[in-house]
Amino acid sequence: MKKPVMGIMGGTFDPIHNGHLIIAETVSNLYNMDKVLFIPSGDPPHKQNLKITEKEDRYEMVKYAIAGNEKFSISRIELDRKGKTYTIDTVKELNDMYPEYEKFFIMGEDAFRQLKTWKDYEKIFSYTNILIVTRSFNMTMDIHKGFDDFCSKIYVTKTPFIEISSTHIREKVEKNQSIRYLVPKEVEDYIKRNKIYINLENSNKNNLVLSDLKNKLKPKRYKHVLGVIEAAKSLSLKWNVDQEKAEIAALFHDFSKNMDFEDMTRYAAENEITFDKIESSNKELMHGRIARDIAYKKYFITDEDILNSIEYHTTGRRGMSKLEKLIFLADYIEPNRSFPGVDKLRDISFKNLDKALIDAIDGTIEHLIQMGEIIHPRTLEARNYLIEELSNQRGG
Ligand code: ATP
Ligand code: MG
């Protein structure tokens, strides 16, 4: 009777991608496999110098990727083994577990070329065949030259050349580029949800937001945001405010500035954001609140002070925090602004924060009057409060 056939798909799977899946599916059909076992590696000896993603994450991603294919399954034998994982131990163990199966260890050409460096590589053939698949556009059928003793155990199969690698996917995620259609949707979502491959320390999250902003905003507006970041940084140094917080608030303050009115209204409805009567007819007054929501939900900014600074940067409000004041002002005096009196205001900003803020609010109010626009009461409250405070300071 014919033996059942099993494919063994070993890999770091950091992350698993459609190349792995297409290969596994292709050979499982060609060789009438009854089962393909995916085995994420534990601590692979040939990747010692590289930083590898947490094994449970790699395991989860494989699990998601193969779900729904009844021939595919996953094994933890390498993940749960202590110390370095060697393929020889794995195939030996599999042979004990599945003695009745004819086995094919599936490898890309690139992996096969390294085979002679693997521990006890010759012994591997006592437990399994090796099935080599295409990993370049010009794979030749004599790739196993030099393995004469094992010829009967080596199968070379031309499979579709799929130019996808995990390395490439990690790089794309780090650069905030799309990996859609390169990995299954569930894997893509898992990577996003768990923020895998985003190197927060050096690529830093701010760069990701900036590249998002560049796509969303008109060039002039994007330049303005860079100006506000710069101004917020210098003001934060002067006024002893956390520079990182100032930078983040500045980065997000105009996030939704170029959204149109319909999109804003829809976003607000979908996200249960309510606006008062004045706000709801004026997109200028809506954009800060929406930017706050996006920063919170999409970029996981949870610091209340940062979020308030984003929300109130247009109107100001009674009892603004130092960070809120600073962002309001930075928006007003950033280097690209050129209205008459801006240099004087820049000067005051570095001498008296409250005085500068009152001047900026006055400027806003005058502008609104000239334009015949409604003045939001929060702006008037902000002004009144600051004047009270200033006179209290003087009085006391
Ligand atoms: P990395 O870039 O991190 O090395 P990888 O894409 O090569 O990742 P591995 O987990 O190292 O993925 O690969 C496991 C096995 O799958 C190896 O034998 C490899 O040759 C094979 N393989 C991976 N991607 C492909 C592909 N696109 N086509 C054919 N074989 C592949
Ligand atoms: Mg590889």
In angstroms, what CA-CA distances link 174 with 178, 201, 206?
Answer: 10, 12, 12
Among 8, 20, 52, name the best residue to mutate to test ligand 1's pocket (greatest count of ligand atoms within 8 A of Cβ). Answer: 20
Inform me whether the pLDDT recorded for 326 exceeds 80.
yes
In this structure, of 244-248, 299-303, 322-326, the range with the lowest mean pLDDT score is: 299-303
How large is the average pLDDT for residues 199-205?
Answer: 53
One domain for residues 97 and 241: no
Cα(315)–Cα(292) distance, integer angstroms: 14
Q: What is the pLDDT of residue 210?
A: 86
Average pLDDT over residues 351-378: 96
Predicted local confidence at residue 123, as pLDDT: 97
Going from the Cα of 83 to the center of ligand 1, the distance in angstroms, rounded, reads: 22
Give the atom of ligand 1 at the shortest distance from the alpha carbon of 164.
27
- Report the separation in Å between the CA atom of 34 and the middle of ligand 1, taken as the mean of its atom positions: 22
The answer on 260 and 145 residing in a single domain is: no
Considering the domain architecture, whether residues 130 and 185 belong to the same structural domain is answered as: yes
d(CA 240, CA 227): 20
For residue 230, what is the domain's CATH number?
Answer: 1.10.3210.10
Q: Is residue 199 part of a domain?
A: no
Q: Is 178 a member of any domain?
A: yes
Shared domain check, 233 and 180: no
Same domain, 166 and 246: no
Share of the chain above pLDDT 90, in %: 79
Q: Is the pLDDT of residue 378 over 90?
A: yes
Token couple for 333:
């005096």
Q: Are residues 180 and 211 in the same domain?
A: no
Q: Ligand 1 centre and the CA of 17: distance in Å?
A: 9
Q: Indicate if 175 and 296 belong to the same structural domain.
A: no
Of the three residues 167, 193, 219, the one that is the final residue of a domain is: 193
Read off the pLDDT of residues 121-173 as tens digits, 9 standing for 90 and up: 999 999 999 999 999 888 888 888 888 889 899 999 999 999 999 999 998 99
Residues 212 and 188 in one domain: no
Give the pLDDT confidence score for residue 94 in this predicted structure: 97
pLDDT at residue 234 greater than cutoff 50 = yes
Nearest Cα residue to atom 19 of ligand 1: 108
Residue 126 has a pLDDT of 96
In a domain, 230, yes or no: yes
Long-range contacts: 371-375, Cβ < 8 Å, 24+? Answer: 373/282, 374/278, 374/282
Structural domain of 84: 5-193
Residue 151 in any domain: the answer is yes
Q: Where residue 157 sits, what CATH number does that domain have?
A: 3.40.50.620
Ligand 1 site, CB within 6 A: 11-14, 19-20, 23, 107-108, 110-111, 133, 135, 162, 164-167
pLDDT at 299 over 90: no
Tokens of 356: 């500068």
pLDDT digits (tens, 9 = 90+) for 175-186: 888 999 999 999
Q: Which of 193, 216, 248 is the last residue of a domain?
A: 193
The reported pLDDT for the residue numbered 199 is 59
Closest ligand to C-alpha of residue 25 is: 1
Q: Express as a percent the part of the chain with pLDDT over 70.
A: 96
Give the total number of structural domains in the chain. Answer: 2
Q: Hey, what's the torsion of the CAs at 351, 357, 358, 361, to 10 degrees? A: 150
Spatial contact of 381 and 350, defined as CB atoms under 8 Å apart: no
Flag whether 198 is in a domain. Answer: no
Mean pLDDT of 290-311: 93
On whether residue 200 sits in a domain, the answer given is: no
State whether 165 and 299 are in the same domain. Answer: no
Q: Are residue 243 and residue 375 in the same domain, yes or no?
A: yes
| CA angle, residues 240, 243, 249, in degrees to nearest 5 | 120
* pLDDT at 63 exceeding the cut of 60: yes
Task: Give the three-state DSSP class for 384.
Answer: helix
- 315 in a structural domain: yes
Same domain, yes or no, for 169 and 298?
Answer: no
In a domain, 73, yes or no: yes
pLDDT, mean over the chain: 92
Q: Which ligand is nearest to the Cα of residue 15, counting in written order? A: 1
Q: Which of 193, 223, 245 is the last residue in one of the domains?
A: 193
| Residues 175, 311 within the same domain | no
pLDDT per residue as tens digits for the range 73-132: 999 999 999 888 899 999 999 999 999 999 999 999 999 999 999 999 999 999 999 999
Residue 257 pLDDT greater than 60, yes or no: yes
Burial 150-183 (b: 16+ CB within 10 A, else e): beebbbbbebeebebbbeebbeebeebeebeebb
Q: Which of 204, 309, 203, 323 is nearest to 255 (CA)?
A: 309
Nearest ligand to residue 38 Cα? 1
**CA 111 to ligand 2 centroid distance, Å:** 7
Q: What is the pLDDT of residue 50?
A: 62
Query: For residue 376, what is the DSSP state?
Result: P
Contact yes or no for 207/299 (Cβ under 8 A): no
Helices (H), the chain: 18-30, 55-66, 87-97, 109-113, 121-127, 166-174, 185-193, 205-216, 219-238, 243-252, 261-270, 283-299, 304-311, 322-333, 342-349, 353-371, 377-395
